[in-house]
Structure 1
Amino acid sequence: MASFLATRASRLLDTLHAIRWLGPLVLRLVFGYFWLETGIAKVHNLDVFTQRFIGWGIPFPAFSAGLSAWTELLGGLLLMLGLCTRLVCIPMIINMAVAVGLVVSSNLMGLDDYVEADEIVYSLIFFWLLMAGPGKASLDTLLARGLGIRAAQ
């Protein structure tokens, strides 16, 4: 019985190892689409989004709102494509840090509130992508291969 279970477990692990590229791909596609969608909505309603920035007291509200909206739109698109993944995570993390520092933190009372804040979770996902990269099924990996660069898998 133990041998049977060990064989099954080994096969399962081998299968999961063979399709490990699927995790980063699905994450990038879904998470990237989320940001693409929110960015498009903000770009199309930039006046309303700018008014929110004014209400939050964010400096240079028109510029900041436009920068934030376009960062989300282009960042989401690039994440979906797996193009410049690590690089694009940097402005996305900065965008989340500004949101936490200037908007969200006023509503957070303790560690539990911070841990449960969406922007913190988003920042952690961006951080993971920054550290781990886009995975095997990405334009980054394809370009690296084409340039003769060994991309981390």
Structure 2
Amino acid sequence: MRQFLAEKCSQVLSILHAGRWLGPLVVRVVFGYFWLETGIAKVHNLAGFTQRFMGWGIPFPAFSAALSAWTELLGGLLLMLGLFTRLVTIPMIINMIVAVTLVVSSNLMGLDDYVEADEVVYTLIFCWFLMAGPGKISLDTLVARWLGIRTRD
């Protein structure tokens, strides 16, 4: 019985290992689409977004709002494509740090509130992409192969 369970577990793990490319792909495409969509909405209503920045007391509100909106739009698109994934996560992380620091933190009272804040979760996902990369099915991987750069995927 023990041998039978070991064999079945091994088979299941082999199947899961063969499909390990699917997780990063799905998360990258869905998460990227989320940011593309929010970026498009902010770019299309830049005046309203700028007003929110003014209300939050963010310096240079027109410039900052436009920079944030376009960062989300272009960052989301590049993330979906898996192109410049590690590079694009840096401005996205900065965007989230600014949001947490200047906007969200005034409503957070303790560690539980920070852990539950969407912006903190988004920052962690961006950090994961920064460290792990886009996964096997991405334009980054194709470009790396074309350039002869060996990847671990």
TM-score range, shorter chain: over 0.9
Could you say what secondary structure the match of 1:103 adopts? helix
1:43/1:69 contact within 8 Å kept: yes
Identity %: 80
Structure-1 separation of matches of 2:50 and 2:152:
40
Counterpart in the other structure of 2:7: 7
Counterpart in the other structure of 1:107: 107
Displacement after TM superposition at 1:37 (Å):
0.3
Counterpart in the other structure of 2:124: 124
Counterpart in the other structure of 1:86: 86
| Deviation digits for residues 112-143 of structure 1 (CA, Å, limit 9, x no counterpart) | 00000000000000000000000000000000
1:40 aligns with 2:40: yes
Matched residue pairs, number? 153
Displacement after TM superposition at 1:59 (Å):
0.2
Deviant stretches of 4+, over 2 Å: none
Structure-1 separation of matches of 2:119 and 2:26:
20
Structure-1 separation of matches of 2:52 and 2:74:
21
Unaligned runs of 5+ in 2: none
Could you say what secondary structure the match of 2:99 adopts? helix
Displacement after TM superposition at 1:4 (Å):
1.3
Displacement after TM superposition at 1:152 (Å):
3.0
Unaligned runs of 5+ in 1: none
1:133/1:152 contact within 8 Å kept: no
Structure-1 separation of matches of 2:113 and 2:53:
22
Counterpart in the other structure of 1:63: 63
| Deviation digits for residues 86-125 of structure 1 (CA, Å, limit 9, x no counterpart) | 0000000000000000000000000000000000000000
1:56/1:103 contact within 8 Å kept: yes
TM-score if structure 2 supplies the norm length? 0.99
Structure-2 separation of matches of 1:4 and 1:63:
64
CA RMSD of aligned residues (A): 0.5
Structure-1 separation of matches of 2:142 and 2:16:
22
Structure-2 separation of matches of 1:8 and 1:73:
45
Structure-2 separation of matches of 1:56 and 1:35:
21
Structure-1 separation of matches of 2:68 and 2:94:
10
